[in-house]
Structure 1
Amino acid sequence: MRLNEITYTNAVPVDGYGPGFFRVGGVAHEGPLLVWDRGRADWGGLDDVETLLSMAGTVDVLFIGTGAETAHLPAGLRAQLEEAGLGVDAMNSPSACRTYNVLLSEGRRVALAALPV
């Protein structure tokens, strides 16, 4: 088996998570989190639509972590994001972090918006 070292250019993977926090690039981040090719930032949660819409054109798939449990996104939010050209996939935050990391390692244009567990 041949293993290749993965190089992250601007985006960084999620190293871990726990009650109320995420660890990204070795740095703990408390509260809801947004990670994409421009780094990491606070995210205002499901009501912070404008921040998510600002990624249109630079992100193909947006993973939304809904906390400890998988929850459906509000229909209006999903419609706005899809209308802007963002592919959206909602799942629990641990799964969203793992999926984001895998697609990031493949060089995909992905983003993660996640609520803490």
Structure 2
Amino acid sequence: MKLQMGRSDGLNTFTAYGAGYVSVNGIRHTSNLAVLPERLIPDWTKATFETLTVEDIELLASLDAEIVLLGTGDRLRFPSPELLRPLVRRQKGLEVMDLPAACRTYNILMAEGRKVAVGLLLV
């Protein structure tokens, strides 16, 4: 699905998504990644949802963001509370959603000027 939004110049915006991929600023990505308005982290983790570790979430918690979105693939799944401790310790907000919702929500929050990061599980 293509996303049509007013683009914020120089900032990372999701422009499309589909089964096993997302496009950021028109560039297609097929592996897990983390995205912030001014930074892209390809291969944020090699994990699947089932193999996520505290270290994977720690990296998201360390990013300069007030709210972290976690896109869990083609369906909504919630990580165990133990995995979320790094976010709680750093007092970061977390929203867990499927991949399409995470892309749309990121674009909205980013366009509002919010300090947002999204970690996407594409594998």
TM-score (norm 1): 0.83
Name stretches of at least 5 consecutive residues in structure 1 with no aligned partner. Answer: none
Task: Output one character per residue of 1:7-40: Cα deviation in whole Å (capped at 9) or x when no partner.
Answer: 344x311111122211001111111110013421
Unmatched segments (≥5 aa) in structure 2:
1-5
Task: Report the counterpart of residue 3 of structure 2 in structure 1.
Answer: none
Q: Which residue of 1 aligns with 2:62?
A: 54
Query: How far apart are the structure 2 equivalents of 1:8 and 1:54?
Result: 25
Which secondary structure state, in structure 2, belongs to the residue aligned with residue 43 of structure 1? coil
CA distance in 2, matches of 1:40, 1:50: 16
Report if aligned partners of 2:15, 2:25 keep a CA contact under 8 Å in 1: yes
Q: Which has the higher strand share?
A: 1
Distance 1:8 1:107, change over 3 A: farther
Cα distance between partner residues in 2 of 1:83 and 1:50: 10
The equivalent position to 1:93 in structure 2, one of 99, 107, 112, is 99
Q: Measure, in 2, the Cα distance between the counterparts of 1:115 and 1:100.
A: 15
Task: Write out per-residue CA displacement over residues 22-68 of structure 1, whole angstroms, 9 at most, x where no aligned residue.
Answer: 1001111111110013421222143213321321xx21100000111
Distance 1:114 1:65 in 2: 5
